[in-house]
A and B are shown apart, each in its own frame.
Chain A
Amino acid sequence: MNGKIVAFCCENSAYPAADLAGKLGLHYSENLRIIRVPCAGRVDVIHILKALENGAAGVLVLGCEEGACRHITGNTRAKERVEYSSMLLREINLDGRVVAMFNLSPNAPHKFVKAVNDIGNITAEPGR
Chain B
Amino acid sequence: MIIAERKPIEEIRLMMAPYKKILVAGCGTCVTVCWVGGEKEVGILASELRLARGAEGRELVTLEATVDRQCEKEMLAELRDKISDVEAVVSLACGAGVQTMAELFEDKPVFPAVNTTFIGMPEGEGLWVEMCGACGDCFLDRTGGICPVVRCAKGLLNGPCGGTRRGGKCEIDAEKDCAWVLIYRRLERQGRLDLMREYRAPKNYRAVKRPGRVQAAKA
B203 at the interface (CB under 8 A from A): no
Is the pair A92, B44 in contact by a Cβ cutoff of 8 Å? no
A32 at the interface (CB under 8 A from B): no
- With A46-B40, A53-B54 known as contacts, the answer to whether A92 contacts B47 (CB < 8 A) is no
Interface bits B48-80 vs A (CB < 8 Å: 1, else 0): 101110110000000000000000000000000
A46 proximity list for chain B (CB < 8 A):
40, 43-44, 47
Question: What is the size category of the interface that chain A forms with chain B?
Answer: 10 to 19
- Complex CA–CA separation, A55 to B101 (angstroms): 34
Name the CB-closest residue of A to B13: A92
Is the pair A50, B47 in contact by a Cβ cutoff of 8 Å? yes
Q: Which of B10, B13, B48 touches A49 (beta carbons < 8 Å)? A: B48
Is the pair B48, A52 in contact by a Cβ cutoff of 8 Å? no
Instruction: Please give 12 more A-B residue pairs, beta carbons under 8 A apart, in addition to A44-B40, A91-B8.
Output: A46-B40, A46-B43, A46-B44, A46-B47, A53-B54, A88-B9, A88-B44, A89-B51, A91-B10, A92-B9, A92-B52, A92-B55
- Complex CA–CA separation, A88 to B6 (angstroms): 12
Question: What is the size category of the interface that chain B forms with chain A?
Answer: 10 to 19
A72 at the interface (CB under 8 A from B): no
Name the CB-closest residue of B to A49: B47
Interface residues of B in 18-52 (CB under 8 A from A): 40, 43-44, 47-48, 50-52
Is the pair B51, A94 in contact by a Cβ cutoff of 8 Å? yes
A89 proximity list for chain B (CB < 8 A):
51
A49 proximity list for chain B (CB < 8 A):
44, 47-48, 51
Main secondary structure of the interface of B (DSSP, over half): helix
A45 at the interface (CB under 8 A from B): yes
Is the pair A93, B48 in contact by a Cβ cutoff of 8 Å? no
Is the pair A53, B51 in contact by a Cβ cutoff of 8 Å? yes
B54 proximity list for chain A (CB < 8 A):
53
- Complex CA–CA separation, A49 to B44 (angstroms): 8
Q: Which of A52, A53, A91 touches B9 (beta carbons < 8 Å)? A: A91
- Complex CA–CA separation, A45 to B51 (angstroms): 14
Is the pair B51, A93 in contact by a Cβ cutoff of 8 Å? no
B51 proximity list for chain A (CB < 8 A):
49, 52-53, 89, 92, 94
Is the pair A91, B48 in contact by a Cβ cutoff of 8 Å? yes
Is the pair A53, B55 in contact by a Cβ cutoff of 8 Å? no
- Complex CA–CA separation, A95 to B67 (angstroms): 33
A93 proximity list for chain B (CB < 8 A):
52, 55
Is the pair B52, A45 in contact by a Cβ cutoff of 8 Å? no
- Complex CA–CA separation, A53 to B10 (angstroms): 19
Interface bits A67-95 vs B (CB < 8 Å: 1, else 0): 00000000000000000000011011110
B40 proximity list for chain A (CB < 8 A):
44, 46
A45 proximity list for chain B (CB < 8 A):
44
Q: List 25 A-B contacts (CB under 8 A).
A: A44-B40, A46-B40, A46-B47, A49-B44, A49-B47, A49-B48, A49-B51, A52-B51, A53-B47, A53-B50, A88-B9, A88-B44, A88-B48, A89-B51, A91-B8, A91-B10, A91-B48, A92-B13, A92-B48, A92-B51, A92-B52, A92-B55, A93-B52, A93-B55, A94-B55
Name the CB-closest residue of B to A52: B51
Interface bits A35-61 vs B (CB < 8 Å: 1, else 0): 000000000111001101100000000
A92 proximity list for chain B (CB < 8 A):
9, 13, 48, 51-52, 55
